[in-house]
Amino acid sequence: MFNDSYGPDSGTSMASPAVAGVLALMLDSYFSNVSTTTRPLNSTMKAVLIQTAQDL
């Protein structure tokens, strides 16, 4: 993609904004429903993402 144009692309870099958005929603839900004073472990958040992922 040259000259400031758009085009199709793929890879993990293309998925990272979506994953970051999902994690933000997960954290918001955690703080709203579980605890407002503690934060979930990063390993827990990663495990939830991995265990709930679906192949496309």
Q: pLDDT tens digits, residue range 2-43? A: 678 888 888 888 888 989 999 999 999 999 999 989 999 999
Handedness of CA 19, 51, 28, 38 (dihedral sign): negative
Q: Are 23 and 40 in contact (CB under 8 A)?
A: no
Tokens read off for 44: 């827990």
pLDDT band at 1 (very low <50, low <70, confident <90, very high): low
Global pTM reads: 0.71
